[in-house]
């Protein structure tokens, strides 16, 4: 390993050792509190444009494989870990995390005090940063960071959506699901295939008319990166489709787009929610779910029309919105990830609830 540094836009510098690629990378620095699942995190398109800090101190100990990938490539801009372990052990493993990152041309840094870094992000908020293995003066690196794009106002969906539509099917499909890909995870598709479904995945800019021409029994809006308010085409399509009476389900960015389509507003969280241990209150069932989350923006509940929109879920950490449904139309959405690979699996019932709506509507 070679020496390297992580520099934040406020001038804070963390020294460490570089692994993976050796190129300078910039991105919004955020932290994830999951104990496992680093490969799922790395390949989640919702992290596009971000440098992810893993708060769990030991990373790399079970290597990597093709089974745990959530997309076809690593999506993060960079990775920060406390202690990287190259001597991995896993019966499904195929190569080290270092090798995997080098193949995907992703720069990572280890030896960082991730506890101090996480506390800084919590107090000051998520900020832009740069990982560098070069002996560039710190002042120039700070300047480069401050010239990099800010997450607010940024449409990153265009960079991660599928270019061409494609279909995946169960053995005996009964239902047709139109699936908007804003940066989806493979395990969301896998969940739908458990319900005798034919799923057609569409580019994020696909018009509402083309979706209706497919004659779907249900419409799904996926997760994705960036500022939801910047994805105007997604908001407009969701607004047009929500009133058609076809069951609609949104996850994460899809949830935010539905809220915006229903006249609501979104805002940027100070440091976001990222991890596999977030408690959420289900107001419909009067129960608590432990959820998997990855988002930096949230829906402003006060901006929603209570005559038409029902609040279904609330985050118990900070009281932010985690779910809604429409009182007239079969529309539902949640801020978190019910497919939750590697876990927890408290919220998989949401796919069942949605497919019951689909079956009833059909």
pLDDT for 103-160, tens place per residue? 999 999 999 999 999 999 999 999 999 999 988 999 999 999 999 999 999 999 999 9
Q: What are the domain boundaries of the chain?
A: 2-147, 157-361
- The CA-based angle 149-153-157, given to 5 degrees, is 85
pLDDT band at 247 (very low <50, low <70, confident <90, very high): very high
Cβ count within 10 A of residue 269: 15
pLDDT digits (tens, 9 = 90+) for 208-235: 999 999 999 999 999 999 999 999 999 9
Distances 352 to 45, 71, 249, 358 between C-alpha atoms, Å: 24, 24, 11, 10
Q: Give the C-alpha separation, 362 to 353, whole Å.
A: 14
pLDDT digits (tens, 9 = 90+) for 252-271: 999 999 999 999 999 999 99
Q: Mean pLDDT throughout 9-36?
A: 97
pLDDT of residue 362: 82
DSSP codes of every residue in 151-189: STT---HHHHS-SS-EEEE-SS--EEEEEEESS--HHHH
Identified catalytic residue from 252, 255, 289, 322: 252
Q: Let me know if 252 is a catalytic residue.
A: yes
Q: Let me know if 326 is a catalytic residue.
A: no
Q: Give the C-alpha separation, 104 to 276, whole Å.
A: 25
CATH number of 157-361: 3.40.50.880
Q: Mean pLDDT throughout 303-310?
A: 97
CATH T-level assignment (fold) for domain 2-147: Glucose Oxidase; domain 1 (3.50.30)
Q: Mean pLDDT throughout 178-207?
A: 97
Q: Let me know if 9 is a catalytic residue.
A: no
Write down the pTM of the prediction.
0.96
């Amino acid at each position: 390993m070679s020496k390297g540094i992580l520099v934040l836009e406020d001038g804070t510098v963390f020294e460490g050792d570089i692994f993976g690629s050796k190129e300078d990378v910039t991105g919004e620095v955020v932290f994830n509190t999951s104990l496992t699942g680093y490969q799922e995190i790395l390949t989640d398109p919702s992290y596009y444009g971000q440098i992810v800090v893993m708060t769990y101190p030991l990373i790399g100990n079970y290597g990597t494989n093709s089974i745990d990938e959530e997309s076809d490539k690593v999506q993060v801009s960079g990775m920060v870990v406390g202690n990287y372990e190259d001597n991995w052990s896993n019966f499904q493993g195929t190569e080290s995390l270092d090798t995997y990152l080098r193949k995907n041309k992703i720069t990572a840094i280890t030896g960082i005090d991730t506890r101090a870094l996480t506390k800084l992000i919590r107090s000051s908020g998520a900020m832009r940063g740069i990982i560098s293995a070069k002996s560039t003066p710190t002042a120039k690196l700070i300047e480069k960071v401050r010239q990099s794009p800010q997450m607010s106002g940024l449409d990153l969906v265009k960079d991660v959506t599928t270019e061409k539509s494609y279909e995946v099917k169960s053995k005996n499909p009964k239902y047709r699901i139109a699936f908007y890909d804003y940066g989806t995870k493979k395990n969301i598709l896998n969940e739908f295939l458990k319900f005798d479904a034919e799923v057609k995945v569409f580019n994020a800019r696909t018009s509402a008319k083309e979706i209706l021409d497919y004659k779907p029994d249900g419409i799904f809006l996926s997760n994705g990166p960036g500022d939801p308010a910047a994805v105007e085409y997604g908001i407009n399509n969701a607004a047009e489709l929500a009133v058609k009476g076809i069951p609609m389900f949104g996850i994460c960015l899809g949830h935010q787009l539905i809220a915006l389509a229903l006249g609501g507003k979104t805002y940027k969280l100070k440091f976001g929610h990222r991890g596999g241990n977030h408690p959420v209150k289900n107001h419909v069932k009067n129960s608590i779910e432990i959820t998997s989350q990855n988002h930096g923006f949230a829906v402003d509940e006060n901006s929603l029309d209570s005559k038409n929109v029902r609040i279904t879920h609330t985050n118990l950490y900070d009281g932010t919105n985690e779910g809604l449904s429409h009182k007239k139309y079969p529309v539902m959405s949640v801020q978190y990830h019910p497919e939750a690979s590697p876990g927890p699996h408290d919220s998989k019932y949401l796919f069942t609830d949605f497919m019951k709506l689909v079956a009833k509507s059909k």
